[in-house]
Chains A and B, each alone.
Chain A
Amino acid sequence: MGFDQYHEPASELPAETRTFARLCASLTEEAEAIGWYEQRMAIEQDREARAIMRDAQGEEFKHFCMDLEFLLRRTPLWREIAEGILFREGDIVERGEEAEEEAVEGAAERGAPVAGGLSLGIGSLRGAES
């Protein structure tokens, strides 16, 4: 593939944003692969072949979750909204609306940085220039 995960000129983007974009692209690819395996299994008649595909799909679940966790750690506002939606019972749309309202408006009211959340979002600095 080329460098089409970038919407803006890569040379003008900071390293953090390029990493973020790569993980977003990776997240998309994992989600696509999960969908493809689901379709293949739906029509595959061979039980053994289906078992292999189920195993492979499990790998994609793992990859998707790791990508997502990385992105959430780097994006406190996204994480805050996700915490209001994921692994909760009840109406998903209602949960989503509430989580967005609480997180976004709350951040605006308290003058939090656009990047969201409460911390400065520094995290790991591995790979940062020394």
Chain B
Amino acid sequence: MSHLLREQAPISDSAWELIDEEARERLKPALAARKLVDFSGPHGWEHSATALGRTTPLTDAPGDGLEAAQRRVLPLVELRARFSISRDELRAADRGAEDVDLDALDQAAHRIAVAENRAVFHGWASAAITGVAEASSHEAIALGEDCSRYPRHVAMAIEELLCAGVDGPYGLALGPDSYRRVLETGEHGGYPLLDHLRKILGGPLVWAPGVQGAVVLSMRGGDFLFDSGEDISIGYDRHDGEAVHLYLEESFSFRAVTPEAAVALTP
């Protein structure tokens, strides 16, 4: 039995399949960080820390003539988003209903995806995670609301990366507001701004809920490292006569090891 206790939930096999598939469908579009940074794992729920390869000297070794140091690690964080599903809806799913109400699951999926994006791009101080944007050693570029200037801003960011010796391809994480503006905008002759930006980047342009403004980063590899312990899973908490209470859960750490490999574009 795993710690997720799925087998204890009063949920049929087919309803579990429906729940899992709904979660995947909702999570994949929103998990922007995973489309841009290096992903390692999943290493399992028991994986507790990321090795940093560094040590802290200890001056009080228990004896004379000794040198002592302690390994430094980055502990993984656990993220959990709770949600409930009505037992009536689960019974409807078992009868083949096509319109099962899984809104609470959808919202939980969005919450955990946004939190993951925020941690990766803007950091999470209490978890000792420094985000891509705040780690950047380049001066941030103001994005503004004038979409016609976006290609220029992105090109400037890429030029900064090139000057720092950071090769491409490059990716762009765009916050929802900026992404919507890009989608709505056609340039001279109606050429979609989205396609223009993709050509400049040589890599993906990603809708990134949780991101403020945008971030241009290199995708050459080795610069931004997401370490997954348990990948996003659904577990069982409890149930009563009305509803089954479940949760989405994951554990991870993140490191921006090359601060010069990204440029933040502020809103």
Contacts and interface: CB of A to CB of B under 8 A. Distances in A.
Interface of A: 73, 108-114, 118-126, 128, 130
B39 A120 contact: no
Given A112-B6, A122-B231, A128-B28, 10 more contacts: A118-B6, A118-B230, A119-B42, A119-B231, A120-B232, A123-B41, A124-B34, A125-B34, A126-B34, A126-B219
Chain A interface mostly helix, strand, loop or mixed?
A: loop
Contact of A120 (B2, B9, B32, B231): B231
A125 B7 contact: no
Interface string B221-232: 000000010111
B6 A130 contact: no
A111 B11 contact: yes
6 contacts: A109-B7, A114-B17, A124-B39, A125-B31, A130-B32, A130-B205
A118 B233 contact: yes
B255 interface: no
A109 B4 CA distance: 14
A113 B233 contact: no
Contacts of A113: 16-17, 20-21
Contacts of B76: none
A109 B16 CA distance: 12
Contact of A123 (B20, B42, B234): B42
Contacts, number: 75
A120 B171 CA distance: 25
- Interface size on B, as a range, is 35 or more
Contact of A122 (B12, B16, B34, B205): B34
Interface string B195-223: 00000000011110000000000010000
B60 interface: no
Interface string B1-27: 110101101011100110011011001
A118 B231 CA distance: 9
Given A111-B16, A118-B2, A120-B23, A125 B28 contact: yes
B118 interface: no
Given A120-B27, A128-B28, A130-B204, A111 B6 contact: yes
A118 B232 contact: no
A130 B231 CA distance: 20
A119 B20 CA distance: 9
A111 B35 CA distance: 30
Contacts of A128: 28, 35
A126 to B, nearest CB: 6
Nearest to A126: B35
Contacts of A114: 17
